[in-house]
């Protein structure tokens, strides 16, 4: 006696329904923090697979410190050893601030490849891809800061503020760099190519870093130039960091740095998200 197996398709929807309605709680929606950290980890994995991306945070700091210390130290301070005490906090700021623009470059590349279109289709907190990329870049900023401090110590820099002053200085610098990076994320949304993002970023960063108190005392500059230097956020940041590394706290400049951080995030964060949501 043979038995005919029921091979009709009517059983298929039932099986699918049983799978879809399997007992157990529905997985919780990922939090904004977890999704941001996941995208931050993605940014670090990109460095793992393309380690030459770290060239700007390893070789450039070393080149800047040695070049400026030994080229200008004798002329500006009498000796490289004296000049490095003044220069190193400024070079630390310049190094980290200059590499913040690579946030915009990598983000623009992802946009060109259509990666961000996929991210926007995911059921996650909207800013996660942007915040995660910035969090991943903080690791690069930290690495650059460590390299600057090691090289500076090797050539004679001695911070009177000790490890506490250095740690506080790097913390303030990382907070400022994270806030400033929102400017480059906005540019990444506006510009159509990496080259355009790079060009505009350099056009903004060069005056900010070189027309400041990083290399020389502003009192030696003409009055019209001092006017710009005195309102330059980089000047306030360098002054605050020099104070922390020297063992003192310059409250006014620290407060102005905090104000600039709030301004950057409050203005360019919403602008970036508006452009991100509109981008097709």
**In the chain, where do the E strands start and end?**
none
* Interval 222-228 mean pLDDT: 91
Placement of tokens 């506006």 in the chain: 190
Which range, of 16-30, 46-60, 152-166, 190-204, averages the lowest pLDDT?
16-30
CB 219 within 8 A of CB 209: no
Placement of tokens 């452009």 in the chain: 275
106-110, 184-188, 234-238 — most confident range: 234-238
162: left (phi over 0), alpha (psi -120 to 50) or beta: left
With a cut of 80, say whether residue 93 has pLDDT above it.
Answer: yes
Question: 12 Cβ partners below 8 Å, 6+ apart?
Answer: none
Domain boundaries, the chain: 32-278
DSSP-H helix ranges across the chain: 11-20, 32-49, 55-77, 80-99, 101-113, 115-120, 128-154, 162-190, 194-210, 223-231, 233-245, 251-278
DSSP state of 10: T
Select from 66, 147, 134 the least CA-distant residue to 100: 134
With a cut of 70, say whether residue 119 has pLDDT above it.
Answer: yes
Select from 63, 133, 40, 141 the least CA-distant residue to 100: 141
Mean pLDDT value across the chain: 83
Share of the chain above pLDDT 90, in %: 41
Residue 66 CB neighbours (<10 A): 13
Predicted pLDDT at 181:
92
């Amino acid at each position: 006696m043979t038995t005919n197996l029921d091979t009709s398709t009517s059983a298929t929807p039932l099986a699918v329904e049983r799978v879809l309605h399997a007992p157990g709680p529905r997985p919780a929606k990922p939090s904004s923090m977890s999704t941001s950290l996941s995208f931050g980890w993605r940014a670090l994995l990109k460095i793992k697979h393309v380690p030459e991306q770290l060239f700007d945070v390893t070789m450039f700091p070393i080149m800047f410190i040695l070049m400026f210390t030994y080229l200008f130290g004798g002329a500006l301070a009498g000796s490289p050893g004296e000049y490095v005490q003044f220069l190193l906090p400024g070079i630390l700021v310049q190094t980290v601030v200059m590499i913040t623009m690579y946030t915009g470059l990598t983000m623009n590349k992802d946009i060109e490849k259509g990666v961000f279109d996929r991210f926007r289709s995911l059921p996650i907190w909207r800013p996660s891809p942007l915040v995660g990329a910035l969090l991943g870049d903080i690791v690069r900023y930290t690495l650059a800061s460590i390299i600057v401090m090691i090289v500076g110590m090797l050539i004679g820099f001695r911070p009177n503020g000790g490890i506490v002053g250095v740690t506080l200085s790097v913390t303030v610098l990382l907070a400022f760099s994270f806030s400033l990076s929102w400017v480059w994320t906005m540019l990444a949304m506006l510009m159509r190519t990496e080259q355009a993002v790079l060009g505009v970023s350099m056009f903004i960063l060069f005056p900010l870093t070189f027309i400041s108190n990083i290399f020389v005392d502003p009192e030696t500059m003409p009055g019209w130039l001092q006017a710009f230097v005195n309102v330059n956020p980089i000047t306030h940041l360098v002054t605050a960091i020099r104070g922390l590394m020297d063992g003192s706290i310059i409250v006014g400049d620290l407060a102005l740095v905090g104000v600039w951080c709030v301004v950057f995030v409050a203005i360019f964060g919403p602008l970036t998200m508006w452009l991100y949501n509109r981008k097709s």
